Structure 1
Amino acid sequence: MSSGDLLLVFLTVVGSLAAAGFGCVDAALTRVSRVSVEGFARQNRAGVANLSTVVADPGRYLAPLLLLRIIGEMVAAACLTVLFARAYGAGFAAVGLGTLVATLIAYILVGVMFRTLGRQHAPAVALATAGLTVRLARILGPLPRLLIALGNAVTPGPGYRDGPFASEAELRDLVDLAEENEVIEREERDMIASVFELGDTLVREVMVPRPDMVFIESTKSVRQALSFALRSGFSRLPVIGESVDDVVGIAFLKDMVAHERDGDEDGPIAEIMRAPALVPESKPADDLLREMQASRTHMAIVIDEYGGTAGLVTIEDILEEIVGEITDEYDSEVAPVEWLDAGTARVTARLDVDDLGKLFDLDPEELPGADDAVTVGGLLATALGRVPIPGATAEVGGLRLTAERAAGRRNQIGTIVATRLDGAPPTAGRPPNGSTSRPAPAGAPRPADGPAAAGGPTLAGGAAPTGDAAASLDPASSTDPAPAGDPQPGDGAAVADRPVAPSQQHGKVTS
């Protein structure tokens, strides 16, 4: 082998190793984040100053590495082609062999082996080579950026963009890849995806619709509003004027309590209400979240295109789009059906009306309002003509339905006690002994207890209402009857065909 051939072999090895080294450094630097650099700085690691410079402007310092890697690969390929041309003649065979060997070297040595080593040992490699990277960028000067600018000039579209992600889709793919490689959990991936989707979500998609709103008239007194807030379980109540489309303010429970403590409970609620925040239903949910954070507002009234009230939205409604349903600390899973005694069962508000009829040997089609409701909660709401709150009772067909304690962040009625009025035990719906029947907990409603739910209200003297009185009873009183004129739960509120209560949130608010 001549000296010329030895020189070609030497240049091939040097070019390949140089390309592999620059590829290794590039892979390591792209894996180091600013958070990692801050950690290295706290540890006083050597080379952290140069590494911080590189991470602050990766496009400027990584472009020279890319250029030098390409030069190394081209030098190796050219030298290999000349070697094969000397050995086999200047023909297609030499070109083909040179291209094949150069491709194998570039793929295995540069693309796989050394880049993998760079990723596996990213902190050590990045800290050790950051100084060299900075010096190479200074030596080459603007040459890499000029070449990139030239490429962008002849490339259709926006051209090259600095940074690891050119679009949201690429970032989503990276998140999916991280979950597949068990870097993050599935719940974390879903949460990240929800953040992206929040930008495409409108307020109308997360709001509590108008039929499910609970509100109070501006003519009511502070005492009446306080009584209603305590019974309904909401710490914020929209205050309306002439109609639901005229929301004039928001009443806060803490303001009502303060006035009641000061003895100023007979004044109108309009005197202590706060100005409502109004937002269009077409507003993006992420924009509203930022505005509510900035203004420290937890509730807003949603307005439709005609200026009417479409519903209300809280900051928790938006957060649930990201983190999922927020439950109350006292919430617990309940069985769909729990027999308390003969003829009395506690059922979930979401139980189908047809299933309720089967439980009590009744024809669901004969239950008043069954055509307008799908669930037991909806059946009770239809009979009451309003959104039910704890203790609300109505007689439907041969059954007495009593709403129990509300549960969850939205204060929805979770369970309903159903009792046959004739006292006859069912034959088809009653489960066999020992299957799901168990003694009722202390305070649970019994057939003789009237309409009161567990811990709920009764009529003064403990008498249970019957007939029309049961259907129209307001659960205003516990052992003490509510003062005359107290607002009824859901006064003026429409009721949807589903057993959902309004989402009016609790917590501290300042505005």
Structure 2
Amino acid sequence: MAEILPELLWIAILVLVNAFFAASEIAVIAARDARIHQLAEEGHRGARVAQRLMADPSRFLATIQVGITLAGFLASASAAVTLAQPVAAWLRTLGLAPGVATSVAVTLVTVVISYVTLVLGELAPKRLALQNPEGLALRVARPIAMLARLAAPFTALLARSTNLVVRALGGRADVQERGLTEEEIRFYVAEHQDLRSEEKQLIEGVFDFGDRIVRQVMVPRPEMHTLPRHLSLSQAVERALRAGFEHYPVTGEGPDDIVGQVSTHDLLRAMVEGDGPDTVEGLLQPVRFVPETKPALDLLKEMKRDRFRLAVVVDEYGGVAGLVTLDDLLDEIVGEMAGGLPGGRQVTASEWVLEGDTSIEDANERLDLDIPASPHYETVAGFVLYNLGRLPEPGEGFEHRGWYLSVERREGLRIAAVRVRKLAGALPAPGGPAAGSGTGGAGEGPVPGGGGEAGRGSGGAGDGGPGAGGPFDLRTTGPAAPGPAER
């Protein structure tokens, strides 16, 4: 037994070397780039080395593979040569022929060494490395980098040989690592247990925002609040304070003749100082015009770069289609702010009232209405008009895939609210509108809206009660905070 102890010690050392390389490989691969970058910026030497390894993974992976292969081969060879002999001698005492005993001994020793190497030299080290990849990566980065420099000639030969084989098989040697797709990131976000629901909603909002155009986030023309240019200062202040917004488009000869904009702040300051102009015209500021098909993300970048908060939206014929503010764009990402929301309320366990300008996307997401996408409509009100083919009176409606949609309320020629009733089948799943999801309480009135967005609830159109919450805040009680004044 004493004569094989050195060999056993040598094999144990080789298994530990294998474990070091296996753990190092997983640690560097699994380490978070952002954390390593942060530590490198703070001056951590190990983090800087780890950054270089992560920037050139093929180099350090080749070094790792060389180390693992050599350690495993040497361990198996040493065991087969040294440990097989005493095992074969023991087997011969059991009556096995010398040739058979030797073959069985080599097989047994190889199986045992492979098992020990897999458990102690591969699986266990990798499992431990995954528990704290950044910490281990910082410790092993410099030794691995040093070994990579020593093995550079050999790894370069391996890389060239590999490229030749890949090309011979019809592949490409310069294939770059494929980044994550949007769908993959959405999946990881949905499955990540450490992210709060608000964080997941924010990430989803960023992706959804990138697909939207200005027409989908603007306040439509009939719901805009404007101030005539010849309106007296006192009247303008009265209107501005009553509506509760920060900026207003200013009209000239007609509602589509937008000549500029004015802020409530400027109106109040001019009135308090007393030496300002007598009408709104004297406080005019330039206004930005944007096409309704402009990507919302591009407009957000322009607002940030040029430092403006309101833009008038024009259609393809040059007419005013609506307006959009910085708050409108941000709300699409972070969720609607309290008091400035289009929404609805739950009437019964199977019945809801939605605002007419609720988007088809939001309606389908929250109530599972299964309304098909179409270029003929973008909102619930548009879907009602498209199906009925005329301007309906309150109470008129139609059936759609297990739901009954009817006009709840009209404001002039506009459908302001739509009643949605489930006819059969399961109710919306918990966490949807029926569960009262949202971030605020819906107020009184047929279609609760908010005091912060013009034309998107009571604050804009003056109808309904105050409301708060997400795009579908269907709770029926609770006061609402005033929304952000913008227009």
Regarding TM over 0.5, the answer is: yes
Residue aligned with 2:195, SS: coil
Which residue number corresponds to residue 316 of structure 1? 327
Structure 1 match to 2:458: 413
- How many Å apart are 1:260 and its aligned residue? 1.9
Aligned-partner Cα distance in 1 for 2:133–2:290: 48
Q: Which residue of 2 aligns with 1:492?
A: none
Among 147, 155, 160, the alignment partner of 2:176 is 160
Checking the alignment, whether the CA contact within 8 Å between 1:81 and 1:94 is kept in structure 2 is no
Which residue is 2:394 aligned to? Answer: 370
Q: Is the contact made by 1:24 and 1:114 (CA closer than 8 Å) also made in structure 2?
A: yes
Q: 8 Å contact 2:15–2:71 — kept in the other structure? A: yes
Structure 2 spans left out of the alignment, 5+ residues: 89-98, 357-391, 398-405, 417-443, 466-478
Alpha-carbon spacing, 1:217–1:39, altered in 2? closer, same or farther (3 Å)? same
1:261-272 matches, cutoff 5 A: 261-263=272-274, 267-272=278-283
Question: 1:365 maps to which residue?
Answer: none
Residue by residue, what CA displacement relative to the aligned partner does 1:124-181 show, whole Å, maximum 9, x if unpaired?
Answer: 423322221332233344865786687677435971339xx444444444434432xx
Q: How far off its partner does 1:313 sit?
A: 1.4
Distance 2:156 2:291 in 1: 47
1:59 aligns with 2:55: yes
Does the 8 A contact of 1:210 with 1:310 survive in 2? yes
1:27 corresponds in structure 2 to 26
CA apart distance, 1:24: 1.0
Q: Closer, same or farther in 2 for the Cα pair 1:12/1:292, shift >3 Å?
A: farther
Determine if contact 2:40/2:47 at 8 Å carries over to the other structure.
Answer: no
Provide the rounded CA distance (Å) in 2 between the counterparts of 1:213 and 1:198: 23
Give 1:204 deviation, angstroms: 1.9
1:50 is displaced (CA, Å) by 3.0
The CA deviation at 1:218 is 2.8
- Give the secondary structure class of the aligned counterpart of 1:370: coil
Assess if the C-alpha contact under 8 Å between 2:244 and 2:451 holds in 1: no
User: What do residues 241-280 of structure 1 show as CA deviations (whole Å, max 9, x unaligned)?
Assistant: 3444432211111111222223356644233221112222
Which of 110, 117, 125 is 1:114 aligned to? 125
CA drift of 1:327 comes to 0.4
Partner-residue secondary structure (3-state), 1:248: strand
Cα 1:15–1:174 change in 2 (3 A) is farther
Aligned partner letter, 1:311: G
**Cross-structure match for 2:137:** 126
Matches within 5 A, 1:297-446: 297-328=308-339, 370=394, 378-379=409-410, 381-382=411-412, 407-410=450-453, 412-413=457-458
Task: State the identity as a percent.
Answer: 28
> Match of 2:197, as an amino acid?
R
1:346-381 per-position Cα deviation (integer Å, ceiling 9, x unaligned): xx9969xxxxxxxxxxxxxxxx952689666x43x3
Question: 1: distance between equivalents of 2:113 and 2:182?
Answer: 36
Q: State how far apart, in whole Å, the 1-side matches of 2:253 and 2:114 are.
A: 80
Distance 1:284 1:98 in 2: 67
Query: Aligned AA for 2:319?
Result: G
Q: TM-score, normalized by length of structure 2?
A: 0.59
Structure 1's 402 and 51: CA in aligned 2 closer, same or farther, altered over 3 A?
Answer: closer
**1:175 aligned residue (166, 189, 196):** 189
Among candidates 207, 210, 217, match of residue 199 of structure 1: 210
Higher fraction of helix? 2
Q: Which runs of 5+ in 1 are unaligned?
A: 338-347, 352-367, 388-400, 419-440, 442-502
Q: What's the offset of the Cα at 1:66?
A: 1.7
Contact 1:19 1:68 in 2 (8 A): no
* Alignment equivalent of 2:46, drawn from 35, 41, 50: 50
SS in 2 for 1:175: helix
Q: How does 1:239-254 map to 2 (within 5 A)?
A: 239-254=250-265
Matches of 2:209 and 2:464 in 1, distance apart? 39
- State the one-letter code of the partner of 2:237: L
Q: Distance in 2 between matches of 1:304 and 1:95?
A: 83
**CA distance in structure 2 between the partners assigned to 1:256 and 1:306 by the alignment:** 32
Instruction: For residue 227 of structure 1, give the secondary structure of its aligned residue in structure 2.
Output: helix
Distance in 1 between the 2:187 and 2:139 partners?
31
Counterpart contact for 2:249–2:261, Cα < 8 Å = yes
Contact 2:231-2:279 at 8 Å conserved across structures:
yes
**Structure 1: distance between partners of 2:338 and 2:109:** 67
